[in-house]
Structure 1
């Protein structure tokens, strides 16, 4: 009647050591995307067209190099950063399209 059951969860010979995965989730804020968001906000306020292109490229870089396991829950996603950078680019170039060059006024004849 003393038969050994191999499925017994209390058996000490079936113990295994705890091993953590190679990459573990850290709750560190993503400073790169926050910097891009600050820069795109500055571009929209100052309408500096020359800073809009690097901001868009950095946002694409952040999207390509994202680490979903390392980002904080509820943080800025790289897709949001890319959309804001594209909006900053449109905002910087929109006055050139809407206003356009000034037309030459004819000289008044006196």
Structure 2
């Protein structure tokens, strides 16, 4: 056996790692989705910030090899939370026509 790293006898077949399943639910991701839905219904802009933080935490802590095949990713949760944050602040930046007094 040689010490040459290019020696063909040292080659091994490339194999993708096996996926493993994580049985416990992502509670912070679920809370982020719940907060996003609650924000859309109540328009409470103060709940939007924890929802975005939960979504960011879920996105940072995701493991692509541990995800089940049919599960939705954390990116969708992050987009939903950020759109709920945007929707809660839109009434403050839109220009509305004032009724004219005649």
Common fold: TM-score over 0.5:
yes
Please give the root-mean-square deviation of Cα atoms over the aligned residues, in Å: 2.8
Residue ranges of structure 1 left out of the alignment (5+ in a row): 1-20
Cα distance, 1:32 vs. partner? 3.2
Q: Which residue of 1 aligns with 2:28?
A: 32
Structure 1 residues 76, 33: CA separation in 2 closer, same or farther (over 3 Å shift)? farther
**1:35, 1:70 → 2: CA distance?**
20
Match in the other structure for 1:10: none
Measured after TM superposition, the shift of residue 74 of structure 1 is 1.8
Question: 1:58 maps to which residue?
Answer: 54
Deviation (angstroms), 1:25: 2.6
* TM-score for the superposition, normalised by structure 1: 0.61
What is the CA deviation profile of residues 25-54 of structure 1, one whole-angstrom value per residue up to 9, with x for unaligned ones? 335554432221121011111111111011
Find the aligned partners of 2:72 and 2:29 in 1 and give their Cα distance: 7
Partners of 1:73 and 1:52 in 2: how far apart? 29
Unaligned runs of 5+ in 2: 1-16
What residue is the counterpart of 1:42 in the other structure?
Answer: 38
Aligned pair count? 84
TM-score, normalised relative to structure 2: 0.66
